[in-house]
A and B are shown apart, each in its own frame.
Chain A
Amino acid sequence: MNRMIEVKNITKSFGGFAAVDNISFTIEEGETIVFLGMSGCGKTTLLKMINRLIEPTSGEIWIKDKKIHEQPPSVLRRNIGYVFQNNGLFPHYTVAANIGIVPGLLHWDKKKIAGRTADLLEKLHLPPAKYLSAYPHQLSGGQQQRVGLARALAADPPILLMDEPFGALDPITRAHVKKDFSQLDELKSKTIILVTHDVQEAFELADRIFLLDKGKIVQAGRPEELLFKPANEYVRTFFEDQRFQLEVKLIDPTDYTSLIKAFTHFKHRPS
């Protein structure tokens, strides 16, 4: 595996208050990382520093062995997809124009953009004939979020940043959209960082979870590591309320060891 993103001693202070406090980590190519934590823990600030929507107070970020602060921000951002919680679609652009923004900035030719746009809409279950020339306000919340994802993926960037992408959707729509997302082949090869405060969502999607609190990473690891080998009391209590559902999610009934692990854990669980 190749190293995709390397963050070294990154700090962001807002008037003396460190929203992100001296964090370092590396992310491998193709990994899906979830920044998990309560509001105000610094997870969104950390995410936005990766495409320079927020500039760090100190520290360095490297993408593919290139320092991001040495590239023009617009060039950097065109190679990083970004999905917003509230879709952030341009109200004055049609669905097709919205999806075509980044390819347009990269000077793709029009035919290629049109082909790519139709292809993405097809994959996200939005029939192009019906939706290409629609405006965002004519779409439902779930449809808008799908278009938002299509827009982020349009230029096929290697990295995708997602800021609470399902946060604004009602539970049923959220389930549908998540299903479409998870079935999307091109997501599998991408390095994805997703920010959420939803523990279930983190466990469903993450290869590794970075649990943040007060601007620091409290624990980084695979979901089961956080659940079964909590680094400290904060991590343990963070999952306490939903422990049962999370454990069930992790159990693979065909895998003996996972069953035993779960069982031993149940046994030692303080009641």
Chain B
Amino acid sequence: MDQQQSLWQFMHQESGKLLQQTLEHIGLTFISLMIAVLIGLPLGIYITRHKKAAGLVLGAVGILQTIPSIALLGFMIPLLGIGPIPAIAALFLYALLPIIRNTFTGISNVDPVVREAAVAMGMTNAQVLFKVELILAFPVIMAGIRTATVINVGVGTLAAYIAAGGLGEFIFGGIALNNTNMILAGAIPAALLAILLDFMLSLVQKMSSRKRRLALWSMPLILLLFSSFYVLPLGFSSKLLAGFTPEFMGRIDGDIGLRSIYGLKIRTVVISDAVMYKAIFDKRLDVISGYSTDGRLKAYDLAVLEDDKKIFPPYYAAPVVRTEVLQKYKELAPVLNLLSGKINDSIMTELNYRVEYLNQSPEKCARDFLVAQGLYKVPREGTRGTIRLGSKIFPEQYILINMYAMLIRGYTDLQVETKTGLGGTKICFDALTNNKIDMYPEYTGTALLAILHPATQQIKNLAGDRDSVYTFVRQQFTEKYHLSWLPPIGFNNAYALMMRRSQAQQLHIKTVSDLTDYLNKNKL
């Protein structure tokens, strides 16, 4: 099993990426920190002079702090698009509160007698500020900057969701791929970075008052120096820009396969699938790694590039259930199988389109579909036991889970508890094996490559065949994890490369090989 390498081997093998991500991470942290200091410090000073404004300003930045970081990044995308700018803007907003609050507190806590003495001796306002207040408030202000730095290192991992890079690429890629080494390769450097910066700033904070003025004046230079790290690592460039999800980046049937089997050389940013489609529609990206049943395919008029060398294996969805539950509640399996064969690719795309683009709730979408199929029954409100349904964090899974919940409630006396939004494959799978949920819908290809990790030869033997992959996965899951695969639902949500239809037509790109040729011919 070639993936059973040590963390050290992984980090060594990916050292180039690791270095780049670390530098990007430091850069992101310090660019946003610098802006936060440039704005927060004067603002903090201002509100010590205008105490009436203090409550308002501190309240406003306090509210910003309570916005969940993922949501804040989400708000940034319509305003600032993807890439480093929205990431820096979000980190900047998080860094503001500690800096403003500590500047305000630090200066307010300067002994009023000392301040009055400074005034009484004939110091001007600026002299009182720079020679007395800022120097005496220095430890408190530095504590604020320290807090902001540590927050930024932590929140900075989320920058990977919107194509801004940083150590989050490994962390989210690792979570999506069920690759612990990859998670740790991102998480450990991020933690070390936070500890190291915190320690260095603690030394600055404890500086004797004599050296403080020097520190105060050299701070902008140091911030600028670290900020420049973000621009240092420049990869090669290409005429088109690709945005791939963290999961896609680390998969053999993803970026790795594209590079090794197709020889595709394209400048790539890592981005969350939540914002990827909008980004390609807005022409911020040219190629994305999407899913073939995604509703946004229809909404944004994207063209799927044909996988002419067959690197994307089949991804047929089917419920994976804990075998004990099936044995305990014999009525469950037949009910779950009601859906089997009812949803093909185009139906699933249509359902996804309704939820993702027409903003229907997954519940309404699921119910309408079941009613149309004549499968819907009024819930029996039974009390026989509880089935816990889990789902990954995207609409297709929400729709399927809602359908299963309605079927179970309508056809059996079982109760249902749904735990939707369990992140990626790893989280769902771990929840299932740890008896936190009883079932979730999984895809054959994902199970094969992200969970089972078979040897390369084994994958070749399966040759991307629908039935052989399903059979292999089902057998392995039963043996290794005591989990049962029920019959496939019908659709194949495979990975696919997508481009805007208009651009693909204009450049005469229909297959992934066409794309590779185009890029090779049009090198910058």
Q: Establish whether residues A74 and B114, one from each chain, have CB atoms under 8 Å apart when the complex forms.
A: no
Q: Establish whether residues B117 and A77, one from each chain, have CB atoms under 8 Å apart when the complex forms.
A: no
Q: Establish whether residues A105 and B120, one from each chain, have CB atoms under 8 Å apart when the complex forms.
A: no
- Which residues of chain B are within 8 angstroms of A84 by Cβ–Cβ distance? 113, 116-117, 120
Closest to A101 in B: B121
A102 to B122, CA, bound (A): 7
Given A77-B119, A86-B113, A88-B120, 6 more A-B residue pairs with CB atoms under 8 Å apart are A74-B122, A82-B121, A90-B117, A92-B209, A92-B210, A102-B121
- Does B127 make an interface contact (CB < 8 A)? yes
Closest to A76 in B: B122
- Does A78 make an interface contact (CB < 8 A)? yes
Residue among A73, A79, A101, A151 with the highest chain B CB neighbour number at 10 A: A101
- Does B123 make an interface contact (CB < 8 A)? yes
Q: Establish whether residues A88 and B116, one from each chain, have CB atoms under 8 Å apart when the complex forms.
A: yes
Closest Cβ–Cβ distance, residue B162 to chain A (whole Å): 44
- Which residues of chain A are within 8 angstroms of B124 by Cβ–Cβ distance? 74
Residue among A74, A76, A89 with the highest chain B CB neighbour number at 10 A: A74
Interface residues of A in 63-111 (CB under 8 A from B): 73-79, 82, 84, 86, 88-93, 101-102, 105
Closest to A93 in B: B209
A-B residue pairs, 10 tightest by C-beta: A88-B117, A78-B122, A92-B209, A77-B122, A82-B120, A74-B122, A88-B113, A74-B124, A102-B121, A86-B113
A110 to B282, CA, bound (A): 65
Given contacts A91-B136, A105-B127, contact A77 B121 (CB under 8 A): yes
- Does A51 make an interface contact (CB < 8 A)? yes
Closest Cβ–Cβ distance, residue B119 to chain A (whole Å): 6
- Does B118 make an interface contact (CB < 8 A)? yes
The tally of residues in B whose CB lies under 8 Å from a CB in A reads 19
A102 to B127, CA, bound (A): 12
- Does B135 make an interface contact (CB < 8 A)? yes
- Which residues of chain A are within 8 angstroms of B120 by Cβ–Cβ distance? 51, 53, 77, 82, 84, 88
Closest to B113 in A: A88
- Which residues of chain B are within 8 angstroms of A51 by Cβ–Cβ distance? 120
Closest to A151 in B: B121
The tally of residues in A whose CB lies under 8 Å from a CB in B reads 22
Closest Cβ–Cβ distance, residue A19 to chain B (whole Å): 17
- Does B132 make an interface contact (CB < 8 A)? yes
Q: Establish whether residues A91 and B114, one from each chain, have CB atoms under 8 Å apart when the complex forms.
A: yes
Closest to B115 in A: A88
Q: Establish whether residues A75 and B119, one from each chain, have CB atoms under 8 Å apart when the complex forms.
A: no
A82 to B136, CA, bound (A): 22
Q: Establish whether residues A90 and B119, one from each chain, have CB atoms under 8 Å apart when the complex forms.
A: no
Q: Establish whether residues B122 and A105, one from each chain, have CB atoms under 8 Å apart when the complex forms.
A: yes
Contact bitstring A155-191, B, C-beta under 8 A = 1, else 0: 0000000000000000000000000000000000000
Given contacts A84-B117, A101-B121, contact A92 B127 (CB under 8 A): no
Contact bitstring B100-133, A, C-beta under 8 A = 1, else 0: 0000000000010110111111111001000010
- Which residues of chain B are within 8 angstroms of A86 by Cβ–Cβ distance? 113
Contact bitstring B234-262, A, C-beta under 8 A = 1, else 0: 00000000000000000000000000000
- Which residues of chain B are within 8 angstroms of A77 by Cβ–Cβ distance? 119-122
- Which residues of chain B are within 8 angstroms of A105 by Cβ–Cβ distance? 121-123, 127
- Which residues of chain A are within 8 angstroms of B119 by Cβ–Cβ distance? 53, 77
A101 to B132, CA, bound (A): 12
Q: Establish whether residues A90 and B118, one from each chain, have CB atoms under 8 Å apart when the complex forms.
A: yes
- Which residues of chain A are within 8 angstroms of B123 by Cβ–Cβ distance? 74, 101, 105
Closest Cβ–Cβ distance, residue A66 to chain B (whole Å): 16
Given contacts A82-B117, A84-B113, A88-B114, contact A75 B122 (CB under 8 A): yes
Closest Cβ–Cβ distance, residue B212 to chain A (whole Å): 8
Closest Cβ–Cβ distance, residue B2 to chain A (whole Å): 62
| Interface CB pairs A-B, < 8 A, 12 | A53-B116, A73-B122, A74-B124, A82-B120, A84-B113, A84-B116, A84-B117, A84-B120, A89-B114, A89-B117, A90-B117, A102-B122
Q: Establish whether residues B116 and A90, one from each chain, have CB atoms under 8 Å apart when the complex forms.
A: no
Q: Establish whether residues A90 and B122, one from each chain, have CB atoms under 8 Å apart when the complex forms.
A: no
- Which residues of chain B are within 8 angstroms of A101 by Cβ–Cβ distance? 121, 123
Contact bitstring A187-219, B, C-beta under 8 A = 1, else 0: 000000000000000000000000000000000
